[in-house]
Structure 1
């Protein structure tokens, strides 16, 4: 368990959260694509602050090629690997990312932290919502030339397997094994950035309180057949996979989240029955919380003001489809 404390950034409203999350994602993207990845991992293990990690990439001679990626040979080989959950987080990404002109979509590999086993056209589908609010908007964006620079790789479950949670989980795990090398030579896949929400009951991804899945440390992708809310059948990436990521973000908004955040932030002990708390404690030095004021509701915790690292210049005209 990490001895470093998570960072908790607070914001006035939904739009402020969305802008800050997008900025942080671009900062991690640039740190991964334009600096030594092994160095970033080493710094992360030493609990070095992300601002210093980002400064390392800016001090790197290759950093000047951030605005001209083609000039950086290392950039050509690297991919920015992220995992996202669904629900309100997708709306946050829609609001924050699509208006930016510095998201290098063609270098992104996007995975899903979890999925409800429903058809993609169902309003309960995480991929379906991401497709509707993000991926389907690409061709009308004026902020990025997709035909020239490429689309992101998006990895989702096999829709044909939604009637069998175990088979669906096995199939998605095979995708991870293929893309992150062989399972017998890679103990766990390493995501560069993992984005999660936190529900009012403390569940995150499709890991629920008191679930047996919280004790599953062997599988990369877990079948879920007894979700207490929404579609019962799901798949979810496991706790070890999530905690092994280089950086993790919890994005939380709304006054209904205040009681569970109070329980997570004010508890000194690890509550191994509460998924969000488990990740909060086990990956503490790598975790950042982006939370609106309503969700904190006067909690007495160490809050921070987020410092934008890649704000959109006011001189840049951004045309957003939103």
Structure 2
């Protein structure tokens, strides 16, 4: 996993934290939502990851006229054999890139709900299991952009992390430009497979050996419950959010070559694990507050276990 992270950092300048969180989500068995303005490397980040890991990777470009069957599949009648056949959609893959997911209506977005939560899909009343591992990475533009639909809360809650992909610094942007000088630069290079699916599955099994002390469990539980008590939020974190923080903390510890979780692990994953699950009150939105601010304030108000 460390080699995978280092190889991605060669291709993607200035995204070290997001790359590490992306790999942590892959280890934890969750899914990731990448948000950022067009043209800053969201799709390239996922394509680089898909090239470095084994298995089948599929990309779906979400559009306003897309139907649920375009994602999960459908049934057609084979006139030669005089029987119905199931045509499987792109969701039957190990890594699914849902590009610009908020450019399609909620009806189509909802087609991923069962797949992301239960690792299966139902086509015309028949349930089919999805490959293992199954990892969804969705990209979206900020909701203020034209032609976008707000993802419903049930859809957002299926994502382990929401990562903000921001503009690079001056020096980082200069490095990106320098990569494209010779023959198209980095974009012309083909990424070779580095990690196999069996290695990812083996790494996931190691998560069960990561020790989580009772004080850490209390720390996570207190954090989740505090978000439900504040009047600055209309909707606090769910129990699924607590599970997300727990699994992500274990994955982060494993990437740090530790077999135990620390409070710092919880603090690192709390922002990306909670920011898309909290709904701000109108007053907080008018004041320019964000979910990240509330998460930071809540963490600061909770005693850190020792």
Same fold (TM over 0.5): no
Report which of the two structures shows the higher radius of gyration computed on alpha carbons: 2
TM range, smaller chain: under 0.3
TM-score (norm 2): 0.25
Q: Per chain length, whose mean CA-contact separation is higher, i.e. which structure has more relative contact order (CA < 8 Å, sep 6+)? A: 1
Between Structure 1 and Structure 2, the one with more helix by share is: 2
TM-score (norm 1): 0.25
